Structure 1
Amino acid sequence: MALGLNTNVTSLSAQRYTTNTQDAQARTLNALSSGKRINSAADDAAGSAIIERFAAQIIGNSQGIRNLNDAVSLSQTAEGAISSISDNTERIRELTVAAGNSTLSASDRQALQAEVNQLSQSNNDIIQNTQFNGMAILQGGSFNFQGGANSGQLQNLNTGNLAGSGALASVAGQIDLSSVAAANTSLNALDQDLQRISNERSNLGAFQNGIEANINNLRVSIENQAAAKSRIADTDYAAQTANLAQESIRSQAGLAMQAQANASSKQVLSLLR
């Protein structure tokens, strides 16, 4: 190889290789210290885009679980209130059966009617006052819940209107115990009430079961997405530690080669003496 003073190609080449090695060493140290294989898009552009998509899915599904937990809470609130209405209505029916007795005096019937009226008012109060986050939930309504990260994952709950037009007989003051015949007519109305109450409770129970299944499915999805994200994003400490050792050796070798290359220039001076 020719010896020259103006340009030391060997030194420049050694510097380039050493710089590349030191850059790789810096990236490895960054990965080891941060725990992340990808700390910027420059580290792996495609991998970075995939990680962002996984992260969006994980965040969205986590929020979906919180939304569905609210759905369960609303449903449980409604079911608890309807359970109380059911208890009151069953007691009203018991009193109505008791009124189907010709031996009762007028004062007996008044006492039975008074308790029925109290229980009916209690049912009405429950319907009017049962709310979830300020919203009445037993007066008919449609409630929607985003149950995941993506469109098409909307969950819907429709609750029946137990007040107003078409209200329960035990709420609308239609239970009459003034005679055996009136009590018998009231029994038919109460049986219809209890059937409606049963249907509402069944609807809420089925909704809760479906929501619980969706929540469990979202948890599995989050677990799998987090595992997939980890495989792409997280540092493999065994591999990166081995890389660091190799890069350290290369860096030291490169510096040594630069010293040798720089020394060749001094040989030119010795020829000029």
Structure 2
Amino acid sequence: MSAITAGDVDRARFSVDVGGWMISALSNAGARFGARQLGESQRALGTILERLASGKRINRAADDPSGLIAVEGLKSKEIDLTKQIESITRRQYEYGAMEGGLSVISDLLVDLQGLVTNAGNRSALSADEKRGLQEQADSIVKAIDFLAGTGKLSETGSKLLGGGVSLGAYTTISLARGQYEISDGNGGTRTINGSLNELRSGGAFDLEKGDVEGAQKALEKAAAFISTTRGAYGAQVKAIDDQVSALQVELENTVAAKGQILDTDYAKETAALVRERLKQEAATFVTGVSQRQQADAVLSLLSGTKEMIERSLEEGKRARTV
């Protein structure tokens, strides 16, 4: 039997080839694998905790490049839709204010019609009663002039009964400066069958001495025009309601689509959190076990090698003695 050299002993101290597998004291594949898995689990846990804390699945472009591009596009669309809704809603408020102003004028015209009706029986009225009716008529016409000429929307500054709002055939109402006209939508105006300013004292429709029958007809046609215009404003408000509803549905769908891409799925992430923590604990356990097992195997092999060397040396001594 050949003697074991010092080189054989040195190699035996660090590695032994057993059936194609090497047991080494300097490297441990199992421990390296466990350490790699531990690092991956720690990185995954960091990402999960970031998503849970921020509420967003995408916190940086690297998380989902294509998803980030889609989200930015949806954000832009969301802002655009929101601005459209705000703009249309403001226009709706303006139409509502205009229709409200026309409603007041309509009520005033009704009051005027009542005065004209009372003035129709002049023979039964005293001079003071006629003068009282005329004073009321003057006050009402003045109020109509004020609403038509000076009434404005406080926020926009546009005329209460005009200001370039498109309403098809009815675009602008002008009831000030002595004439009562309505725009025909083509740059011209249509007169409301005579000037209601003629109802003022000394006018053609003066309730004391003027043409009461003519005043009644003028008021009826003026009321009809006001009603028609109010209807046009109402139609615009209803159309805006439908448009706002459609835009709101589109906005809801856009926000939902953005949320599907951007927002954290807490059910999914909490499940992933539990899974990664288990993997982390398992990787830690495997790394420790692998290191202990390999160390034990190396020590066991070294112990066996020592015994083998001692037996070999003893046999060598006996052989030399013989």
Task: Give structure 1 stretches of 5+ with no counterpart.
Answer: 145-156
- Work out whether 1:207 is the aligned partner of 2:236: yes
The alignment yields a C-alpha RMSD, in angstroms, of: 3.7
Q: How does 1:114-263 map to 2 (within 5 A)?
A: 114-132=135-153, 133=155, 135-143=157-165, 158-164=171-177, 167=180, 173-175=197-199, 176-177=205-206, 182-259=211-288
Q: Distance in 2 between matches of 1:134 and 1:252?
A: 66
Residue 89 of structure 1 pairs with residue 106 of structure 2: no
**Aligned-partner Cα distance in 1 for 2:44–2:276:** 7
| 8 Å CA contact retained: 2:51, 2:59 | yes
Q: TM-score under structure 2 normalisation?
A: 0.65
Structure 1 SS opposite 2:197: coil
SS at match of 2:198: coil
Q: List alignment gaps of at least 5 residues for structure 2.
A: 1-20, 182-191, 200-204, 307-322
**Structure 1 residues 13, 93: CA separation in 2 closer, same or farther (over 3 Å shift)?**
same
- Counterpart of 2:274 in structure 1: which amino acid? A
Q: Deviations over 1:66-86 (max 9, x none)?
A: 434333332222222211111
Classify the secondary structure of the residue corresponding to 1:71.
helix
Equivalent in 92, 96, 106 of residue 76 of structure 1? 96
Matched residue, 2:58? 38
The alignment's TM-score, normalised by the length of structure 1, stands at 0.75
Specify which structure has the bigger relative contact order, considering alpha-carbon pairs within 8 angstroms and separated by 6 or more residues: 1
CA contact (8 A) 2:28 2:290 kept: yes
Larger Rg: 2
- Verify the 8 A CA contact 1:121 1:171 in the aligned structure 2: no
Query: 2:102 touches 2:161 (CA, 8 Å); kept in 1?
Result: no
Decide whether aligned partners of structure 1 residues 134 and 247 sit closer, same or farther in structure 2, where only a CA change above 3 A counts: closer
1:20 has 2:40 as partner: yes
* Whole-angstrom distance in 2 between the partners of 1:181 and 1:67: 49
1:146-166, Cα deviation, whole Å (9 max, x unpaired): xxxxxxxxxxx9553333585
Separation (CA, whole Å) in 2 of partners of 1:142 and 1:6 = 89
The aligned residue for residue 147 of structure 1 is: none
User: 1:96, 1:225 → 2: CA distance?
Assistant: 59
How many residues are paired up? Answer: 261
